[in-house]
Structure 1
Amino acid sequence: MTIALLILAAYAIFMWLVFYRFRWLKFNIAWGVVSFWVGFHVLFLLIVFLRFFTPYTIDGHVIRQTIQIAPRLPHPTVLEEVFVAQNQKVKKGDKLYQFEKTLYRAQLAEAQANLVSAQQNAKILEEDVDQAQDSLDEARANETYAQQQVDRYTDLVPKGGAKQETLDQWTSKLISAKAQVAEAEADLKKAQLAVEAQIGGVNAQVAAAQAQVDQAQYYVDQTTIYAPEDGVIISQQARPGLVVGGFRVGAIAAFVADADPYFLATFYQEHLKFVEPDMPVEVALDIYPGQIFKGKVKAIWEGTGQGQIVPHGRVPEFLFMSPQGRFAVEIDLSDDPALKRYPAGAHGAAAIYTGGGGDWVAVLRRVNLRLYTWVNFIVPFDV
């Protein structure tokens, strides 16, 4: 709009100079129609060239990645200490919050005791295998001896060298010995199966106990929250005495990361016809009146909420002549050394230079953007 008004003003001054100041031509109805027709087309062509070859928007904001600081504790737990102040810069690994540890340390100690017990039981299972093997060897020896005695008395009884009663006794003992062998084999098999119950070469009970130790240690570690990366916590509201855990599912603070900020500007969809990644961009931030920052197009977010239909039980409604959704363009300004402060949410204008239409189009857009940034010295007018 600003550049259009400037063009109209320049054309009006030109007409005034031609027809009234220097009187190079005499103004009449015919020249009036021609002047209007030429002016209209010049303005129309300039606006078209500017819209498509140097897309411009005043709807841009600095975006910074945020991390929701949410305690991961299963039981209601009291916040004991807060190590970060309002808007204080922190480095990755700095302590932020300390929660009460008593319950989680007790759970860890219990889990560690269960692990020791499971490890001892695993050793006992190995001893059970050796004992079952010894019992099987003894049962087989008894079976062999009983079989020898049965064979011996089977030969003696027909010859009168032994009583039938003795043979019957040894036959009964042989049957009992075979039963003992079968029982010992079953006991050995059970002991071996118990030892072979493993996960990744570790006894299953030991693995389960170790998992409980790891879980308990995890919750002990979660009682202390550290900075996930360099950044700042904005609006620090957590205070000692705050109870978290249990049914709490929300975050207690928002952590704004220092790394990878970018400027996100929205454009009408048709204005992005010739825009491609890596094209040069100029940005005017409201917090820096009178300054222009250099950047480049990183990506075009070709999609809006209007292109998504969420599954539900109602028939979609399509409103006639509803406003079109704009497409966002991600702009990288990280290479500009003049940019010192880059706060999240900072507003500004942006112009993309596609290189089409000639240098004069880019010049007009540069003038437009610089007018915007200089006007920021006085707008808004509250003092």
Structure 2
Amino acid sequence: MVAGLLICSIFAFLVWLVFFKFRWLKFSILWGVVSLFFGAHLLLIFLVGMRFMTPASTSAVVVQHTIQLVPRLSQPTMVTEVLVEQNTPVKKGQPLFRFDDRPYVFQVKQLQAQLAQAKQNVKVLQADVMISKQKVNKALSQLELANYQLKLTTDLSSQGAGPVEEQQKALAQVKVEQAAVLEARAEVERAELEYNSQIDGVNTQVAALQAELEQAQFYLDNTTIYAPEDGRIANLQVRPGMVAGIIRMGAIASFICDDNRYLLANYFQENLKYVKVGQPVEVAMNLYPGQIFPARVQSIWKVNGSGQFLPSGTLPEYTAQPPETPQGQYAVQITFDDPDQSKFTIGAGGIAAIYTEHQDFAYLRKISIRAHSWLNWLYPLDI
């Protein structure tokens, strides 16, 4: 900057010396145009220096995180209470909206009864296993008796002391009892399978009802929406009597978070040549004419949508954007040094100037941004 001022001063001195002091040449329109043309090019030193050493953006805007409040309910449910006021600060965990919880309370109670019945059924299944085992013992005893009778009738028949029909009848009875033993053992296996049907040591029917009960309890708990963070709701349109749920899609309100707000400013890519994280920034907010707020560069978003192509069956078309559309810009995330972050509200705009390590043109940028801030008292002219 000093070199530029020196060159401009020498040029102005030479013009004064040649044309006005010693009048070596006669000042004419032609010489005036040549001098003006050469002087205007000398001024480019300051324009280029300010652009690269202290880049500024007039498209800076305050960004705050917002959370879309979406009711997570299994059926359309009526809003019964609105527990928050518009633009009123709320704390994390504070209830905001309540829905009619009666259908969910009824479902929880119904599943609690079914779960209790299922737990009793487990004991019944255990008893069925014991009964089936006793049936096996009974069938084995009857089979043993049938084999004994078959032996007696066989001995009597072989000695001619008994009819052959009794022997055949006893043999048929043995086969019946053998089948009964097999049937009893199958019943034991079935009862044990039903009793031992478990997942992680819990009966499957009990586990299924327990999961359904937990899901019903989840929906019951969600009949009250709580503040996810410290913040506020700006556009409160929810009223008691409104129905929300699976029929009414989307959020019912936007929750503006207090924490982690920042200023997002767009810069042309070439202006960020010397910009680094941590460098000082001065911000002139339109909300506060005549005031300058110190800040810092938090991060540089080196991404741009023009470099993204979405998967498609259509070949890309390389169409030039209109001249009025900003092209080749990157966003810079800036955080304020002011401890009172509440004064920087979501959507507030302004101008942000970054001061790089090269401070030669910092004074010119400071004058420029302060002039812009003071002009906010008059502009825009809406009188």
RMSD: 3.0
The code of the aligned residue for 1:76 comes to P
Could you say if the C-alpha distance between residues 73 and 279 of structure 1 is closer, same or farther in structure 2, counting changes exceeding 3 Å? same
- Shift, 1:331, TM fit: 1.1
Specify the SS of the correspondent of 1:48: helix
- Identical aligned residues as a percent: 42
Q: Which moved more, 1:313-322 or 1:100-109?
A: 313-322
Per the alignment, residue 349 of structure 1 pairs with 351
CA–CA distance in 2 between the matches of 1:274 and 1:206? 66
CA–CA distance in 1 between the matches of 2:22 and 2:73? 85
- What TM-score do the two structures reach when normalised by structure 2? 0.87
Q: Which moved more, 1:121-130 or 1:322-331?
A: 322-331
Alpha-carbon contact 1:80-1:240 (below 8 Å) kept: yes
CA–CA distance in 2 between the matches of 1:221 and 1:183? 50
The code of the aligned residue for 1:261 comes to R
- Shift, 1:54, TM fit: 1.8
- What TM-score do the two structures reach when normalised by structure 1? 0.87
Per the alignment, residue 274 of structure 1 pairs with 274
Is structure 2 residue 152 aligned with structure 1 residue 144? no
CA–CA distance in 2 between the matches of 1:271 and 1:182? 89
Alpha-carbon contact 1:71-1:245 (below 8 Å) kept: yes
Q: Deviations over 1:218-266 (max 9, x none)?
A: 2222221111111000021111111222411121111101111111001
- Shift, 1:55, TM fit: 1.6
Q: Which moved more, 1:286-295 or 1:125-134?
A: 286-295
CA–CA distance in 2 between the matches of 1:291 and 1:255? 29
Per the alignment, residue 19 of structure 1 pairs with 16
The code of the aligned residue for 1:214 comes to E
The answer for unaligned runs of 5 or more in structure 1 is 1-6
- Shift, 1:157, TM fit: 3.9
Is structure 2 residue 333 aligned with structure 1 residue 330? yes
Q: Deviations over 1:149-182 (max 9, x none)?
A: 4345545543456554443333222211211111
Q: Deviations over 1:59-109 (max 9, x none)?
A: 010000111112222323221111111211111111111111222222222
Per the alignment, residue 200 of structure 1 pairs with 200
Q: Deviations over 1:327-346 (max 9, x none)?
A: 1111122x423655111001
CA–CA distance in 1 between the matches of 2:380 and 2:153? 121
Alpha-carbon contact 1:77-1:100 (below 8 Å) kept: yes
Per the alignment, residue 381 of structure 1 pairs with 381
Could you say if the C-alpha distance between residues 270 and 25 of structure 1 is closer, same or farther in structure 2, counting changes exceeding 3 Å? farther
The code of the aligned residue for 2:84 comes to V
CA–CA distance in 1 between the matches of 2:226 and 2:342? 26
CA–CA distance in 1 between the matches of 2:201 and 2:354? 61
The answer for unaligned runs of 5 or more in structure 2 is none
Specify the SS of the correspondent of 2:207: helix
Alpha-carbon contact 1:292-1:373 (below 8 Å) kept: yes
The code of the aligned residue for 2:240 comes to P
Specify the SS of the correspondent of 2:343: coil
Could you say if the C-alpha distance between residues 338 and 164 of structure 1 is closer, same or farther in structure 2, counting changes exceeding 3 Å? closer
Q: Which moved more, 1:135-144 or 1:341-350?
A: 135-144
How many positions carry a matched residue from both structures? 373
CA–CA distance in 1 between the matches of 2:348 and 2:319? 33
Could you say if the C-alpha distance between residues 40 and 138 of structure 1 is closer, same or farther in structure 2, counting changes exceeding 3 Å? same
Alpha-carbon contact 1:65-1:257 (below 8 Å) kept: yes
Could you say if the C-alpha distance between residues 295 and 25 of structure 1 is closer, same or farther in structure 2, counting changes exceeding 3 Å? farther
Specify the SS of the correspondent of 2:361: helix
